[in-house]
Amino acid sequence: MEFSHFLSAMTPFNIALALFGVVAGTVIGSIPGLTATMALAVLVPITFSMDPASALILLGAIYTGAIYGGAYAAILLNTPGTPSAIATTFDGYPMAKRGDGDLAVALACFSSVFGGMVGAIALLLLAPPLSKVALAFGPVEYFWLSIFGLSLIASLSNGNLMKGLAGGAFGMILSTVGVAEISADIRLTFGSQVMIGGFGVVGALIGLYCIPVLIDLVATPERHLKVEENVKSVRISEAFKIAMRSKFNLIRSSVVGTLVGILPGAGGSVAGLVAYSEAKRTGKDHQKFGEGEPDGIIATESANSATVGGGFIPTLVLGIPGTPPDAIVLGALLVQGVRTGPAMFSQSGSIVYTFIYGLIIATILMLPAGLLIGRYAYKSIVTIPKAVLVPTVGFMTIIGTFAIRNSVSDVIIMLCLGVFGWLIARFGFAASPIVLGLILGPIAEQGFVQGWTIGAATNNLIGMFFGRPISQAIIAFTLMTLILPIYLAYKKQPHKEV
Amino acid sequence: MFKNNETAEIGRNKMLKKHIKNTVAIIAAATSFASIASAEINGPVNYIIPFGPGGESDISARLQQPFFKDKFGEDMVVSYQPGGGGAVGWASLNGLNGDGQTIMGVNLPHIIIKPAQKNVGFKTDDLNTFYMFHYTPDAIVVTADSPYQTLADLVADAKANPGQVTMSGSGKASANHLAQIKFDKLAGTLTTYVPFKGTGAAVTALLGKQTVAEWGYTTVGAKQGDAVRMLAVAMENRHPLFPDVPTFKELGYDMTGGAYRGIALPNSASAETTKMWSDMIAEINTDPAFQKKMLDGGFAMLDVDSAGMKDFMAARVEEYLKDAREAGLIK
Amino acid sequence: MGTSSSKSQGQFGSLFISTLFIFIGLITLYDTTSYSDRDSQVFPQTVAIILIITAGTSLVTRLLKPSNEGGFGEGIWWRRVLFISAMFITCFAMPIIGFLASGVIAFTSGLIAAMHDKWSFRTVLIYGCSGAIIMVSFFILFKFILFVPLP
């Protein structure tokens, strides 16, 4: 952890790479359908001619920017630019609708920078011990974690509990369509080839979140977002003050994000959800969450940015990628001849530490860059006449969905889901539970089947599912999260429908 | 006809030609002209991996990438098209342009077993596989601190406690799974296979002691180094990277094989294009620097070109279908 | 609105969708009977049952306590239909006339659908040009920088 590595990270070239990466990543992340994974995949060959540390810094900076960039579309268009920004729509879009969009964007920036720093510092100081967390999480823990994530549906569906749960179950059914991972069966395709690939998360996200918004935008002459006539730049200090007031939320969410990022296969979306759930459960004003509560954005954006640093922990220490972008980074490293694994920190220490410092620098650079881009993004979305905004976003959804798997059928599926999502939203069925079910379904299923297989083989089913300490802790959190909204729904029984 | 890059001089000329070609290509693309079929590379090639990033297919493609650029002067762009365990990519291959700019990775046993199980959108013979350039030999992997020091230890434990030895692996009806079934038959044991999504997840499970062993590949041993111990590898001779690890054959189990990986073109590609690609990949494959990188990664080299592909595939089809039928995976 | 709660749009729609979900759950259960591996049946069956129970509960409670909640609300229908059908047509046209051409269909229809003010020569020009620029820049970004094979 020598300081010399910090200096080598501070070379003008590396700083330029970090800045470029953060900016490019932010732009990429803000376009729904374009993911960090795609961007990294394309840019890997450029890194072959660079030295490993600089290459890593570039890739890490893009990744950092992309996770942050997803918030723009989430806040301003109710469409997560990347899956990690799903939970940001919960409070981001309501805030934008009531004219606080620029505040939301600035908040997202501060939170992302803070969360990213926490993740990067964890990577710097605590990587080897924290990597053990990644290993301690077995199939059963993943199963309970996904149940915990799904319990968020209950707490989200203020008053519409049954409909929310139905949506979640529906999402989970959607996730089973196609070739099963844990067995060789093909499910719910009804003999058609089109559905063999199943419902991709990104396509479903775009369909279920963005299309309904567009359908309603064309239908009415009102402006898309309310615009406050006066105050513009003062909002940055306002955002800062709000963030400082929620210090505990910030810190807790960043830690949660780092820990979830360490778990391979979990990723930014799960981190945002878990952090949001906790913030809502412990927040002063539960009801305000989901209607434009700044604490919601603070929680989700700091958590999902913390997964960047957190995800690199198992990637570098164990050679096991925490998230798909990490897998690409691993590939790039391998080509350069850098061996990952426990020896990496000692053998290739200079590369690793230079990279981590570079990541920290990139995260810091995201503050000015992000605020600037955020302001620009907000201004343009708000001032572009709706007549141009709608077709542009519509066009973006088509090209973005196509780019996921180079398939037109994906776009058609996305549109069908979109119309369906709009329809059911009219009658009380929200989109988020469905997307949650879609994301968490596979994690739940695989965890359950694997846990069951192992438990049955070792004649230890009960102990397997209920006897492990981490699982017990997660179950406890789940129960706490569930009891609150059921209690609230019970209190409100006479007035709201279930 | 294929490009061959031997000196920097020729390289520089080709770079200039490439830039001019690129500009022309862009203009042509913008006006949507169909290109005349010829056995030449024009511009960057698209190498589609039908899985997500990070797997063995991705790693081996990434290793090929710089050598391709070096030898033939063009960019090799790796993109991912996951879904259906590869089925989505393979089902879409023949819908792609056969002009030689697009290639796709293929995997055995996947492309043989999947169509045999259900209608997945393609048949094994549909895929114009023109080269098999490596395989990852099956291997049983345990953690470094595992009580199993040798394969015999594991077998003894499995015999004493049928069903209780849990082994992680990637997917079902995959190379790992077939290996586990085959070995159980040869050794007369009953182990429990726990499927995970990809080799990475299977390795995590092993390292986290969720299972006591893993059916993986030599690449796992290479990547994890001292954290793991391989009990045996399914090769004819010991892997150069692991001189201390016996082969299954040595220990009395007639098992060789693993997951084979190769590359295919859409079947609309001409015979010249196919031969050209076969030769290009062969050239990369015979480059000692490339071989070293692959071996260092734990891969095992293989050279089956377009000429020898038909017989190779026929033999594999027979072998895999027989194994799968015996295992009850297909009817 | 004038309609009684039990006959309102919101009521009918909510009941319809709940029923639809129950139906989907049943289809899923039926499909699981064709799986060969017990492992692949467990999860869909559990989830389908959950779906049927929750949608069923929602159905029953709504029947017992009708309300006006929900409905299509305000909004001009032909615009919505135009927008969505244009997007679908774009998808089907894409393999035939190429990406940019079908994109033009989507964009123009979107413009018409979203434009509530009166058209003037100036707006046609500006919107049309900006549209063209947007489409072409995205096309270049995706096709040539990100190497996405757009038709």
Segment 34-63 of chain B within 8 Å of chain C by CB? 44, 46
Residue A132 CB coordination number (10 Å): 16
- Whether the Cβ atoms of residue B277 and residue B119 lie closer than 8 Å to each other: no
User: Are β-strands B102-108 and B45-49 bridged in parallel, bridged antiparallel, or unpaired?
Assistant: parallel
Cα-trace Rg, chain C: 23
Q: In 3-state terms, what secondary structure has residue A228?
A: coil
The pLDDT of residue B17: 53
d(CA A311, CA A327): 10
DSSP state of B132: E
d(CA A414, CA A204): 6
Q: What tokens appear for B293 in the block?
A: 């990188």
Segment 464-483 of chain A within 8 Å of chain C by CB? none
Q: Is B102 on the interface with C (CB under 8 A)?
A: yes
The pLDDT of residue A226: 66
Query: For chain A, what percent of residues have pLDDT higher than 70?
Result: 94
List the one residue out of A43, A40, A105, A31 whose CA is nearest residue A70: A31
d(CA B85, CA A184): 9
Q: Is A320 on the interface with B (CB under 8 A)?
A: yes
C80 closest CB neighbour out of A163, A184, A219: A219
Before A368, cis peptide (omega within 30)? Answer: no
User: Which residue in B194, B206, B219, B295 has the most chain A C-beta atoms within 10 A of its own C-beta, making it the best mutation to test that interface?
Assistant: B194
List the one residue out of A424, A465, A453, A373 whose CA is nearest residue A30: A373
Q: Is C92 on the interface with B (CB under 8 A)?
A: no
- Whether the Cβ atoms of residue A65 and residue A21 lie closer than 8 Å to each other: yes
Please determine, for residue A295, whether its predicted confidence score (pLDDT) is greater than 80: yes
Q: Is C37 on the interface with B (CB under 8 A)?
A: yes
The pLDDT of residue B21: 52
Check CB contact under 8 Å for B77 and C147: yes
Please determine, for residue C141, whether its predicted confidence score (pLDDT) is greater than 60: yes
A120-124, A494-498, B185-189, B254-258: segment of lowest average pLDDT: A494-498
Q: Is A341 on the interface with B (CB under 8 A)?
A: yes
Please determine, for residue A191, whether its predicted confidence score (pLDDT) is greater than 80: no
Nearest chain B alpha carbon to C40: B172
Check CB contact under 8 Å for A454 and B85: no
Q: In 3-state terms, what secondary structure has residue B263?
A: strand
Per-residue pLDDT band for A109 (boundaries 50, 70, 90) equals very high
List the one residue out of A42, A115, A21, A28 whose CA is nearest residue A70: A28
Check CB contact under 8 Å for B172 and C149: no
- Whether the Cβ atoms of residue B306 and residue B273 lie closer than 8 Å to each other: no
**Paired strand residues for B45:** B76
Q: Is B174 on the interface with C (CB under 8 A)?
A: no
Q: In 3-state terms, what secondary structure has residue B193?
A: strand
Cα-trace Rg, chain A: 22
A451-460, B8-17, B139-148, B209-218: segment of lowest average pLDDT: B8-17
Please determine, for residue A7, whether its predicted confidence score (pLDDT) is greater than 90: no
Residue B268 CB coordination number (10 Å): 15
The secondary element (H helix, E strand) that includes residue A461 is helix A461-466
Q: Is C140 on the interface with A (CB under 8 A)?
A: no
Closest CA–CA distance from residue B44 to any residue of chain C (Å): 9
Q: What tokens appear for A468 in the block?
A: 């492990």
- Whether the Cβ atoms of residue B159 and residue B188 lie closer than 8 Å to each other: yes
A65-69, A178-182, B227-231: segment of lowest average pLDDT: A178-182
Q: Is B26 on the interface with C (CB under 8 A)?
A: yes
Check CB contact under 8 Å for C127 and A385: yes
d(CA B304, CA B205): 34
Segment 88-127 of chain C within 8 Å of chain A by CB? 88, 90-92, 94-95, 99, 103, 106-111, 113-117, 123, 127
B277-281, B316-320, C65-69, C82-86: segment of lowest average pLDDT: C65-69
d(CA B95, CA B129): 15
The pLDDT of residue A425: 87
Location of structure tokens 């997803």: A70
Quick one: how far is CA B321 from the chain centroid? 19
**Paired strand residues for B196:** B170
d(CA C44, CA C133): 47
**Paired strand residues for B242:** none
Check CB contact under 8 Å for A386 and C131: no
The pLDDT of residue B324: 84
Q: Is A43 on the interface with C (CB under 8 A)?
A: no
Segment 194-223 of chain B within 8 Å of chain A by CB? 194-197, 200-201, 203-205, 207-211, 223
Segment 55-74 of chain C within 8 Å of chain A by CB? 55, 57-58, 61-62, 65, 67, 69-74
Q: What tokens appear for A117 in the block?
A: 């720093």
> Helices B56-72 & B271-285, crossing angle to 10 degrees?
100
The pLDDT of residue B168: 93
How high is the mean pLDDT of chain B? Answer: 84
- Mean pLDDT across A252-279: 90
Q: What domains appear along chain B, each with residue ranges and CATH number?
A: 3-135+258-326 (3.40.190.150), 137-233 (3.40.190.10)
A454 closest CB neighbour out of B79, B92, B194: B194
DSSP state of A85: G
Q: What is the dihedral of CA B291, B292, B297, B298, to 10 degrees?
A: 70
Nearest chain B alpha carbon to C100: B30
DSSP A158-203: TT-HHHHHHHHHHHHHHHHSEE-SSSS-EES-TT-SGGGG---HHH
d(CA A40, CA A34): 11
Tell me the residue type at B329. Answer: L
d(CA A72, CA A108): 9
Per-residue pLDDT band for B33 (boundaries 50, 70, 90) equals very low
C84 closest CB neighbour out of A406, A419, A428: A419
User: Which residue in C31, C35, C36 has the most chain B C-beta atoms within 10 A of its own C-beta, making it the best mutation to test that interface?
Assistant: C36
List the one residue out of A390, A77, A222 whose CA is nearest residue C116: A222
- Whether the Cβ atoms of residue A91 and residue A102 lie closer than 8 Å to each other: no
Q: What is the pTM of this model?
A: 0.85
The pLDDT of residue B3: 43
The pLDDT of residue C6: 62
Q: Is A405 on the interface with B (CB under 8 A)?
A: yes
DSSP chain C: --S-GGGSHHHHHHHHHHHHHHHHHHHHHHHHTT-S-HHHHHHHHHHHHHHHHHHHHHHHHHHHS--------S--HHHHHHHHHHHHHHHHHHHHH-HHHHHHHHHHHHHHHH--SPP-HHHHHHHHHHHHHHHHHHHHIIIIIS-----
Segment 117-176 of chain B within 8 Å of chain A by CB? 117-121, 163-164, 166, 171-173
d(CA B106, CA B89): 9
List the one residue out of B297, B86, B291, B91 whose CA is nearest residue B198: B86
Q: Is A183 on the interface with C (CB under 8 A)?
A: yes
Check CB contact under 8 Å for B194 and A450: yes
In C, which residues are within 8 Å of A419 by CB distance? 84
Location of structure tokens 């089973």: A176
Please determine, for residue C48, whether its predicted confidence score (pLDDT) is greater than 90: yes
User: Are β-strands B128-143 and B213-217 bridged in parallel, bridged antiparallel, or unpaired?
Assistant: antiparallel
d(CA A389, CA A264): 38
Q: In 3-state terms, what secondary structure has residue A289?
A: coil
Check CB contact under 8 Å for B32 and C143: no
- Whether the Cβ atoms of residue B33 and residue B39 lie closer than 8 Å to each other: no
Tell me the residue type at C57. Answer: T
Closest CA–CA distance from residue B70 to any residue of chain A (Å): 12
Q: Is A94 on the interface with B (CB under 8 A)?
A: no
User: Which of A159-168, A335-344, A362-371, B81-90 is the most confident on average?
Assistant: A362-371
Q: Largest alpha-carbon pair distance within chain B?
A: 71
d(CA A307, CA A255): 9
Closest CA–CA distance from residue A169 to any residue of chain C (Å): 5
- Mean pLDDT across A74-80: 89
Q: In 3-state terms, what secondary structure has residue B135?
A: strand
The pLDDT of residue B31: 41
How high is the mean pLDDT of chain A? Answer: 85
Closest CA–CA distance from residue A50 to any residue of chain B (Å): 13
Q: Which residues contact B49 (CB under 8 A, 6 or more apart)?
A: B55, B57, B58, B61, B78, B79, B80, B81, B89, B104, B105
Check CB contact under 8 Å for C149 and B96: yes
d(CA A46, CA A21): 13
Please determine, for residue A61, whether its predicted confidence score (pLDDT) is greater than 90: yes
d(CA A302, CA C149): 35
Nearest chain A alpha carbon to C20: A424
Closest CA–CA distance from residue A308 to any residue of chain B (Å): 17
In A, which residues are within 8 Å of C80 by CB distance? 215, 218-219
Per-residue pLDDT band for B2 (boundaries 50, 70, 90) equals very low
Query: For chain A, what percent of residues have pLDDT higher than 90?
Result: 27
**Paired strand residues for B104:** B48, B264
Phi then psi dihedrals of residue C90, to 5 deg: -55, -45
Q: Is C143 on the interface with B (CB under 8 A)?
A: yes
List the one residue out of B68, B48, B107, B117 whose CA is nearest residue B260: B107
A391 closest CB neighbour out of C25, C40, C131: C131
Q: What is the dihedral of CA A354, A356, A357, A359, to 10 degrees?
A: 120
Q: In which region does residue A198 sit, left (phi positive, over 0), alpha (psi from -120 to 50) or beta (all else)?
A: left
